[in-house]
Amino acid sequence: MAGDTLTVGIAQIAPVWLDRDRTLAKIVTATEDAARQGADLVAFGEALLPGYPLWVERTDGARFESPLQKAFYARYTDQAVDVSAGGLAALCEVAANLKIAVYVGVMEKDPARRGQSVFCSMVYIDATGSIGSVHRKLMPTHEERLVWAAGDGNGLRTHRLPPFTVGGLNCWENWLPLARASLYGQGEDLHVAIWPGSRRNTEDITRFIAKESRSYVLSVSGLMRKSDIPTDMPDYDSLLDNAEDVMTDGGSCLALPTGDWLIEPLPAEEIVTVATIDHAMVRRERHSLDITGHYSRADVTKLYVNRERLSTVKLSDE
């Protein structure tokens, strides 16, 4: 990091599916790889730790009281991450040692909610190894609602990573104009969008957000192939029969504030790659459009954001 520039990393990797500890080890290794390439920030895909719930659409996931769905859910929640109890300690330690910031998608369990639900969370770890925010996806998409709980606005935060201000959203949250606006209004000029993995998701909206916000946009996807399904999964043979050779095909990319590509959508392979971005381009492009600055009308429209961490119970003695 020097002056107006920042080096950002894409870690497009597959999980060791539904295995928290082995996937975390893989994330640590990829972070070390990005740091060796000079990255100041590295990002990973949505729900990477311990993996996206790809079984749902391939095993009749909406069937009520299904023993198979219960078995998958029990395993999924068991392998979720308790961030508050130090579940990301190994990654925080590497971030601090290598002085690299990290965005990573995790399935988070929250003991404060006293339940077994999991949240699709995007965790920011700064270059001192401190957790800066845990953003729980506001609304799970389609079949995700069979597995994930709805989040809240507590994690709608930006972070200073000089010379940039970075923020991010999970997957289809990036389509939500008000969620994006909540970050723009906090000074975001480097937007990180994380996805389970699909070029059809990343190739249009990444460039659109860049043009709308006049920011750099880093879209980082996971990867998942039939060969990545462990043999000890419930009803393994049936799951394998219904799985495509490539279920999530990457598509990670990086757009300039003009909407042009700095890194075009990547193919379906595991890769850790970096690029250097220049804050001067943000300032140049905001000459004509700065949607929370000179091209805004705060006297006409304003956005209210509730950043309270939601809970179903508030105890007076806690």
Residue 173 dihedral angles phi and psi, to the nearest 5°: -55, -30
Tens digits of residue pLDDT in 72-90: 999 999 999 999 999 999 9
- Compute the C-alpha angle 314/317/318, nearest 5°: 65
Question: Among the residues of the chain, which ranges form H helices?
Answer: 20-36, 67-78, 89-98, 177-184, 199-213, 236-241, 279-285
Q: Which two tokens stand for residue 175?
A: 């389509």
Distance (Å, whole) CA 8 – CA 188: 15
318 Cβ neighbours under 8 A, 6+ residues apart: none
pLDDT: which is higher, 178 or 112: 178
- pLDDT of 184 reads 98
Residue with tokens 């040692």: 97
- Listed by start position, the domains of the chain span 5-285
Q: What is the pTM of this model?
A: 0.96
pLDDT at 115 over 50: yes
Q: Cα–chain-centroid distance for residue 238?
A: 29
pLDDT at 1 over 50: no
Residue 47 CB-density burial (10 A; 0-12 exposed, 13-18 middle, 19+ buried)? buried
Helix (H) or strand (E) holding 102: strand 101-109
Q: Which fold has domain 5-285?
A: Nitrilase/N-carbamoyl-D-aminoacid amidohydrolase (3.60.110)
